[in-house]
Amino acid sequence: MSHFTHMKTRFQNLFYLEKALNRLNINHEEKASSKVESSNMNLIIPQSNGYDIEFAWNGQEYELVVDMSYWEQPYPIESFIDKVAQQYAGEVIIGESQKTGFQPIKYQQNADGSNTLVLERWNNEKIIQSV
């Protein structure tokens, strides 16, 4: 008998969530939400045992839906969520800062598990000299 666990997250943007999963090399696919009133897509992470992991839109955020008895990922679920959250945060920072003219010039994953992100923005305004 399956017992699905619904874990709340702070993932609210499908685009950034997909980019985070891509950065972690986690295969996933989009699936239309089964909720009639929702036009949002859910993300499915297939597992070889057939008990897939799902990021399902609950109206406010993408919650992680998983049957803990059939977890097949290479690290515990808490580490999985932490890794996805870390990459998601980096993708949000890059994406939102690009909207204001910043460009990422360095994205580095450090040996201690942290990330270093360097952004830059050039001021293209003309310099007017007064005499």
Higher pLDDT, 89 or 114: 89
In a domain, 125, yes or no: no
Least confident of 9-18, 32-41, 56-65: 32-41
Q: Are strands 62-67 and 4-7 parallel, antiparallel or unpaired?
A: antiparallel
Q: How many domains does the chain have?
A: 1
In a domain, 113, yes or no: yes
Split at pLDDT 50, 70, 90, the class of 35 is low
User: What DSSP string describes the chain?
Assistant: ---EEEE------HHHHHHHHHHTT---EEEE-S-TT---EEEEE--TTS--EEEEE-SSSEEEEEEGGG--SSS-HHHHHHHHHHHHHHHHHHHHHHTTT-EEEEEEE-TTS-EEEEEE----PPP----
In a domain, 129, yes or no: no
In a domain, 126, yes or no: no
**For 64-106, how does the pLDDT look when each residue is reduced to its tens digit (9 = 90+)?**
999 999 999 998 999 999 999 999 999 999 999 999 888 888 8
In a domain, 68, yes or no: yes
At residue 49, φ and ψ (nearest 5 deg) are: -85, 0
Put simply, whether the predicted model's pTM sits higher than 0.85 gets the answer: no
**For 120-129, how does the pLDDT look when each residue is reduced to its tens digit (9 = 90+)?**
888 766 555 4
Split at pLDDT 50, 70, 90, the class of 4 is confident
**For 38-69, how does the pLDDT look when each residue is reduced to its tens digit (9 = 90+)?**
568 899 999 999 999 999 998 899 999 999 99
The answer on pLDDT for 36 being more than 60 is: no
Those residues with Cβ within 8 angstroms of residue 103's Cβ, 6 or more apart along the chain or in another chain: 119, 120, 121
Q: Check if the beta carbon of residue 48 is closer than 8 Å to that of residue 75.
A: no
In a domain, 127, yes or no: no
In a domain, 96, yes or no: yes
In a domain, 82, yes or no: yes
Expressed as residue numbers, the domain containing 38 is: 4-120
